[in-house]
């Protein structure tokens, strides 16, 4: 543990007193803070943004000192009143998000990070009712801080890395403040928030769960620390730890992989069956796969125990039938791709079988080909850069292929501006998996893919970089290999549409994604400015007539359809255009008509302002889906595809429904874009 913060106090004991020299530093810097606050308070409102620099500099230095956080906490009310947050998002604490705050602390410059720290100190004062804030309650402030601390447990218990040592003052300030807040919030609530956050993310069943596993590891460290009381969060937290580190009787105490292999060799049939069922139960309950699970699968596969493989994968009758028909292929996939370093592929394999994909005549031969596929040097280097060299690139890629085919809605774009490519991969994994496997073969083997656009062959190898100048490394292995190729072709298709009236996606989406994309396009904005179109009312009516069961003759969405939405923040302010996939429309459990869609963001549960909160669980969503009530979704929609012969009863849509949707749009993303009356 860092020597910058004390160990967590037991039984609510007060923190250690500050050493005399440190106390003198705190007093001196505290006096400087007072003078900086005096100057800031006397500064006019429009100049506060430029005048707050001295306060942020001194506050950051003070926070880095033992006892500095307490000294600044005593000034929290004055800091809030000084206007240091004026003109920033921190002036609206009700919209702040713990995940974004974590990113600010990790990546922002020193002044911005210090502003974030002062905001958290202010929220602590609100949470403890030492400060009243008109826009956020003490309960909301406490919940925010608990979530923030849950996402920053490494600041409490982790050792310093090179990055932290390179910016020692700022990171000392962060660690001191995190420790100060944790002592006053309580570790039990932090663990409860962390467990809730993990459950919320896992409910979306992402393919990439490295961050989740890291959080579970931190939970395990807390649960085994006698100085930390887990409170009522212990049971929920222990469930996650157990699923990852000890889901069965044979590995309950996390004995290590070698010891577990020895135990498996000594187990009788009854014990093996119990292990298989326990693995399946933990995996399907959480979406997490323990490293012990691949060890078990490889062991029973070598024993030719197909019954135990099916039990360990938790297969239903559909999956079991697929396995029985293609047992040699499944066993070969286990041998070639399922290892303790590629654990999540176990879940992908189970869902691949559950989807019945192997009954498609093209999938089995294609997967046999991928078992022997050796990535070219360029693809191999990228895979190693993203996932390390503990496993051969061929193993990493095949494991990723299994995961993508099993979890089409678990694909994410990572921190990359490539939502179009991520959406395409998901759509092909859903509707054209054989085509996806074909593209992946070309990209991995030849470092090139070819698509035809309006009669012209486009080769990714001969095109310049698109939105992602380098291959992404924070995504799944299939995306690592394919996204940069897709991105180049997508950008080139857009270039060839330059100068045409309307949105380029009218031509690009159908050419890139597949025959099932509607050949007609509806657009709610006027390009290039992005203003709400004068014909937006017709857009709203048309979308209802095509997709709403009450107006389209109750026709379901038969193929995933690409669409574009206007993304807004929690105040409803426009952020940008974003690519999503409309999957289906249906009633939620409360009887409201909802649009269920795929969002390639890793975390699809978002607050888009004006009461529009994207749901990922609890409203009838299947794993990986997002949903919104039909009218709320339509208010954020700006582009969709359709076939003109299927327009439905657009004229039957009530005028008040159309007016309500347009009012939501004008109050949010179109507020600064709406055309003059």
Four-CA torsion 417, 422, 424, 428, nearest 10 degrees: 170
- CA distance linking residue 96 with residue 88, whole number of Å: 11
- CA distance linking residue 451 with residue 458, whole number of Å: 5
Whether residue 546 contacts residue 646, with contact meaning beta carbons closer than 8 Å, is answered with yes
pLDDT of residue 143: 83
> Which of 322, 325, 375 has its CA nearest to residue 349?
322
- CA distance linking residue 207 with residue 602, whole number of Å: 9
For 196: left if phi > 0, alpha if psi spans -120 to 50, otherwise beta; the answer is alpha
Residue 604 has pLDDT above 80, yes or no: no
pLDDT of residue 645: 86
How far CA 148 is from CA of 103, 177, 227, 307, in Å, comes to 11, 12, 21, 45
Q: Identify the residue with better confidence: 280 or 134.
A: 280
pLDDT of residue 102: 83
> Which of 149, 226, 137 has its CA nearest to residue 184?
149
Confidence band for 155, pLDDT divided at 50, 70 and 90: confident
pLDDT digits (tens, 9 = 90+) for 442-480: 999 999 999 999 999 999 999 987 777 778 888 999 999
> Which of 227, 223, 198 has its CA nearest to residue 212?
198
Confidence band for 50, pLDDT divided at 50, 70 and 90: confident
- The vertex-284 CA angle with 280 and 285, nearest 5°, equals 110
Q: For 651, phi and psi rounded to 5 degrees? A: -70, -20
Alpha carbon of residue 493 to chain centroid: 28
- CA distance linking residue 513 with residue 81, whole number of Å: 54
pLDDT averaged over every residue in the chain: 88
pLDDT digits (tens, 9 = 90+) for 516-538: 999 899 999 987 777 888 899 99
Q: Which strand (E) or helix (H) includes residue 456?
A: strand 456-459
pLDDT of residue 234: 63
pLDDT digits (tens, 9 = 90+) for 245-288: 999 999 999 999 999 999 999 999 999 999 999 999 999 999 99
Average pLDDT over residues 434-438: 97
Average pLDDT over residues 566-583: 88
Confidence band for 1, pLDDT divided at 50, 70 and 90: very low
Widest pairwise Cα distance in the chain: 82
For a pLDDT cut of 90, what percent of the chain falls above it?
64
Residue 15 has pLDDT above 50, yes or no: no
pLDDT of residue 10: 38
- The vertex-509 CA angle with 507 and 512, nearest 5°, equals 105
- CA distance linking residue 67 with residue 69, whole number of Å: 6
> Which of 612, 571, 566, 415 has its CA nearest to residue 89?
571
How far CA 473 is from CA of 382, 410, 415, 461, in Å, comes to 8, 16, 9, 19
Q: Identify the residue with better confidence: 504 or 470.
A: 504
Q: Identify the residue with better confidence: 284 or 17.
A: 284
pLDDT digits (tens, 9 = 90+) for 324-359: 999 999 999 999 999 999 999 999 999 999 999 999
Q: Is the pTM of this model over 0.95?
A: no
For a pLDDT cut of 70, what percent of the chain falls above it?
92
Question: Quick one: CA dihedral 428, 349, 368, 383, positive or negative?
Answer: positive
Alpha carbon of residue 410 to chain centroid: 10
By CB atoms closer than 10 A (0-12, 13-18, 19+), residue 520 is middle
pLDDT of residue 134: 87
Average pLDDT over residues 621-648: 93
Confidence band for 14, pLDDT divided at 50, 70 and 90: very low
- CA distance linking residue 155 with residue 161, whole number of Å: 11
Q: Which strand (E) or helix (H) includes residue 598?
A: strand 593-598
Domain locations along the chain: 10-185, 196-245, 360-496, 520-667
């Amino acid at each position: 543990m860092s020597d910058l913060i004390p160990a967590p106090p037991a039984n609510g004991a007060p923190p250690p007193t500050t050493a005399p020299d440190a106390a003198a530093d705190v007093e001196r810097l505290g006096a400087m803070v007072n003078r900086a606050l005096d100057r800031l308070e006397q500064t006019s409102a429009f100049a506060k943004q430029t005048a707050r620099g001295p306060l942020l500099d001194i506050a950051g230095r003070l926070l880095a000192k033992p006892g500095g956080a307490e000294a600044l906490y005593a000034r929290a009310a004055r800091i809030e009143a000084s206007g240091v947050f004026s003109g920033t998002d921190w002036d609206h604490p009700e919209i702040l998000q713990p995940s974004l705050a974590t990113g600010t602390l990790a990546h922002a410059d020193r002044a911005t990070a210090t502003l974030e720290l002062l905001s958290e100190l202010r929220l602590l004062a609100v949470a403890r009712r030492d400060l009243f804030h008109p826009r956020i309650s003490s309960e909301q402030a406490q919940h925010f801080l608990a979530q923030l601390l849950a996402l920053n447990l490494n600041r409490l218990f982790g050792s310093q890395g090179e990055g932290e040592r390179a910016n020692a003052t700022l990171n000392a300030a962060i660690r001191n403040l995190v420790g100060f807040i944790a002592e006053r919030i309580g570790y039990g609530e932090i663990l409860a928030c962390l467990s809730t956050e993990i459950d919320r993310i896992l409910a979306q069943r992402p393919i990439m769960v490295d961050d989740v596993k890291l959080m579970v590891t931190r939970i395990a460290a807390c649960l085994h620390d006698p100085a930390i009381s887990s409170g009522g969060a212990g049971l929920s937290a222990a469930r996650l730890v157990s699923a990852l580190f000890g889901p069965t009787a044979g590995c309950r105490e996390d004995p290590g992989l070698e010891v577990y292999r020895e135990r498996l060799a000594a187990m009788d049939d009854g014990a093996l069956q119990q292990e298989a069922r326990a693995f399946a139960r933990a995996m399907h309950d959480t979406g997490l796969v323990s490293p012990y699970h691949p060890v078990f699968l490889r062991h029973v596969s070598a024993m030719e125990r197909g019954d135990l493989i099916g039990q360990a994968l938790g297969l239903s009758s559909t999956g079991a039938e697929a396995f029985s028909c293609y047992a040699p292929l499944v066993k070969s996939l286990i041998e070639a791709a399922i290892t303790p370093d590629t654990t999540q592929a176990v879940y992908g394999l189970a869902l691949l079988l559950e989807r019945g994909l192997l009954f498609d005549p093209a999938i089995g031969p294609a997967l046999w080909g991928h078992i022997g596929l050796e990535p070219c040097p360029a693809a191999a280097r990228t895979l190693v850069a993203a996932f390390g060299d503990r496993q051969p690139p061929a193993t990493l890629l095949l494991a990723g292929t299994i995961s993508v085919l099993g979890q089409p809605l678990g694909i994410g774009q990572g921190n990359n501006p490539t939502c179009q490519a991520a959406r395409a991969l998901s759509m092909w994994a859903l509707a054209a998996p054989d085509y996806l496997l074909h593209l992946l073969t070309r990209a991995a083997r030849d470092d090139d893919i070819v698509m035809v656009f309006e009669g012209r062959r486009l080769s990714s190898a001969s095109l310049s970089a698109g939105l992602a100048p380098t291959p992404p490394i924070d995504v799944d292995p299939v995306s690592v290999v394919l996204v940069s190729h897709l991105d180049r072709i997508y950008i080139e298709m857009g270039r060839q549409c330059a100068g045409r009236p309307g949105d380029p996606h009218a031509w690009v989406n159908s050419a890139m994604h597949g025959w099932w994309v509607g050949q007609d396009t509806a657009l709610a904005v006027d390009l290039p400015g992005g203003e709400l179109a004068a014909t937006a009312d017709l857009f709203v009516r048309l979308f209802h007539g095509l997709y709403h069961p009450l107006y389209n003759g109750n026709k379901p969405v038969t193929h995933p359809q690409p669409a574009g939405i206007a993304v807004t923040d929690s105040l409803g302010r426009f952020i940008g255009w974003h690519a999503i996939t409309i999957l289906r429309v249906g009633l939620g459990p409360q009887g409201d008509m909802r649009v269920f869609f795929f969002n390639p963001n890793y975390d699809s549960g978002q607050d888009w302002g004006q009461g529009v909160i994207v749901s990922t669980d609890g409203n009838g969503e299947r794993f990986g889906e997002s949903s919104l009530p039909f009218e709320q979704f339509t208010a954020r929609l700006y582009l969709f595809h359709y076939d003109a012969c299927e327009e439905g009863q657009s004229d039957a849509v009530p005028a008040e429904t159309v007016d309500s949707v347009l009012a939501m749009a004008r109050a949010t993303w179109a507020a600064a874009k709406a055309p003059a009356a």
